[in-house]
Amino acid sequence: MKTTQNQLSNCKIEIVFEFDENDINPNTNKAIENISGDIKIDGFRAGKVPNEIVKQKVGDAVIFDEAVRLTIQQKYPEYIESNNIEVIASPDVLITKLVVNKEAECKITVEIVPELTLKGYKEIAKEAAKDKKEVKAEEAEINDTIKWVLDSRSTFVELEREVKDGDIVDIDHEIIVDEKPQEELKAINYKFIVGKEQSYPELNTGILEMKKGDKKDIEISFSDTFYIEALKNKKSIMKVTLNKILERKTPELNDEFVQKLGKFENAEAFKKSISEGIQKEKEMREEERIKMLILENIRKTVTVDIPEALIERETNRMIEDIKYKISEMGMEFEAYLKQINKTEEDIKKDIREEAKNKVVDALILREIIKIEKLDATPEEIDAKTQEILNELSSQNPNMQDADRNMIRNYSEEIIKNEKVFKFLMDTK
């Protein structure tokens, strides 16, 4: 066998395989077996036809062609592995020569992970690191977080009076458009804060002075951006039944309250813990900003052809991430698309440039890892894998081996990337 590799572009190669009979003949019997399973001959079961009869039935050319196909399936992956080529898509195979029972030639074109030429990345990182800002937990942030904690542990007391601005109300409603009930918009036990309702703003004033058990028709209008096309700019009647008027009772921040939350000696210790948590989070965000700035500035110096397959793969990954986040909010992705008046293809177009940048960033990190020999030790990978598994175990205790292998690979990638940024940000 003779092979020739041609570089068609930064991200595409052509491999020419020239096979002789010594390469192809070992696959002849398997070729006959494959063909025999597809032909019908009286007196024989499919796949059980003797070789000589198969040869007589289909001829040498068909058998040789199948043997060549099997030879390509064998030799191509062997070549890719032995030459450490990172392919990113299925290859295009073209048989350019076929001399029955003698020789064959084929050209295989395949997209590969492109090589980058990086210049001055250490200096770029050093300059970007100068932009790092000092951060601190502000008093307002601490107070807002404490308020959130108190609000999250609030109780609600039902009130027996008329609705006032700022009350929390619980209603049932039905919407009528052109005298037809809109079943998909019907709601039971719909809660909102009077004065802050955004889906149906007219409710904020229309419900004032109602009492528990009252029924009222409130006129509402749908905007021209409403997610249901047929209802855009339509006027409607909302038939409202007021179930409850609620008042939030927020607990007092004191030693007794915080001791129920965790191992806090007193309210001051709780506040200190909140402050430290905010400080740490802000420091992490600032460090992440610098990391992204370093990559962005290095990216500006890189010129590379990015295979479409890589961009599409990253785009699809980002779409799946969006779908997951939408589902976590309790919304169907299709309903979300209607609400923003876009298709999935529209979103893919919107995020394509970001996906392309993410691909380039990954290639930059990969190249620096290779140049600087920043590897992850088995011990580091084991520790990170266990850390991630511990975080996930409560959500999915029945982790499969495939999941563990995937997490191990992910852990290795995280460690290597962390070492890249540590190297870049510690560059003097």
In the three-class reduction of DSSP (H, G, I as helix; E, B as strand; rest coil), residue 92 is classed as strand
Chain Cα centroid distance, residue 213: 46
Same domain, 39 and 169: no
Residues 166, 74 share a domain:
no
Which of 342, 344, 340 is closest to 226 using CA atoms?
340
Top-confidence residue, 59 or 276: 276
User: What percent of the chain is predicted at pLDDT more than 70?
Assistant: 93
Is 15 part of a structural domain of the chain?
A: yes
pLDDT tens, position by position, 70-93:
999 999 999 999 999 989 888 999
Same domain, 245 and 285: no
Mean pLDDT, to the nearest integer, of 320-333?
Answer: 91
Q: What is the DSSP string of 343-406?
A: -HHHHHHHHHHHHHHHHHHHHHHHHHHHHHT----HHHHHHHHHHHHHHHHTT-S---HHHHHH
Across the range 329-339, mean pLDDT stands at 88
Structural domain includes residue 56: yes
For residue 71, with 0-12 CB atoms within 10 Å meaning exposed, 13-18 middle and 19 or more buried, which class applies? buried
Q: What type of residue sits at position 416?
A: K
49 and 267 in contact (C-beta within 8 Å)?
no
Mean pLDDT value across the chain: 90
Per-residue confidence at 401, pLDDT binned at 50, 70, 90?
Answer: low
pTM over 0.85: no
| Same domain assignment for residues 18 and 88 | yes
* Boundary-marking domain end, from 249, 270, 301: 249
In three-state secondary structure terms, 237 is strand
177, containing H or E segment? strand 168-177
How would residue 167 be classed by pLDDT, with cut points 50, 70 and 90?
very high
Q: What is the pLDDT of residue 405?
A: 81
pLDDT (tens digit per residue) in 132-162: 999 999 999 999 999 999 999 998 899 999 9
- Asked if 106 and 162 sit in the same domain, the reply is no
83 domain-assigned:
yes
Structural domain count, the chain: 3
418 and 292 both lie in a single domain: yes
Q: Sort 113 into a burial class: Cβ within 10 Å, 0-12 / 13-18 / 19+.
A: middle
pLDDT, average across residues 370-378: 93
Does any domain span residue 127? no
Is 261 among the domain residues? no
SS (H, E, C) 313-356: HHHHHHHHHHHHHHHHCCCCHHHHHHHHCCCHHHHHHHHHHHHH
**Which residue, 111, 142, 171, sits at the end of a domain?**
111
Using pLDDT thresholds of 50, 70 and 90, give the confidence band for residue 108. very high
State the CATH number of the domain containing residue 95.
3.30.70.1050
Structural domain boundaries enclosing 223: 155-249
Report the CATH number that the domain containing residue 398 is assigned in CATH.
Answer: 1.10.3120
Determine the average pLDDT of the residues in 246-257.
92
Here the tokens at position 304 are 């590379």
Residue 398: the pLDDT is: 61
Helices (H), 17-174: 21-24, 28-36, 51-58, 60-82, 121-129, 139-152
pLDDT band for position 115 (cuts 50, 70, 90): confident
330 and 408 within one domain: yes
**Angle, helices 401-425/267-299, rounded to nearest 10 degrees:** 80
Question: 200 with 296, same domain?
Answer: no
| pLDDT of res. 42 | 59
pLDDT at 230: 85
* Strand-by-strand arrangement of the 103-111 sheet: 2-9, 12-20, 103-111, 92-99
Kind of pairing, strands 187-193 and 180-181?
unpaired
The answer to whether residue 264 is domain-embedded is no
CATH at residue 207: 3.10.50.40
Report helix, strand or coil for 9: strand
Percent of the chain whose predicted confidence (pLDDT) is above 90: 70
Closest C-alpha to 111, from 15, 17, 13: 13
By CB atoms closer than 10 A (0-12, 13-18, 19+), residue 195 is middle
> Per-residue pLDDT for 380 more than 70?
yes
pLDDT at 47 over 60: no
Assigned domain for 121 exists: no
Co-location of 307 and 388 in the same domain: yes
Lowest mean pLDDT: which of 161-175, 271-285, 384-398? Answer: 384-398
Mean pLDDT of the 292-302 span: 95
410 and 294 in a common domain: yes
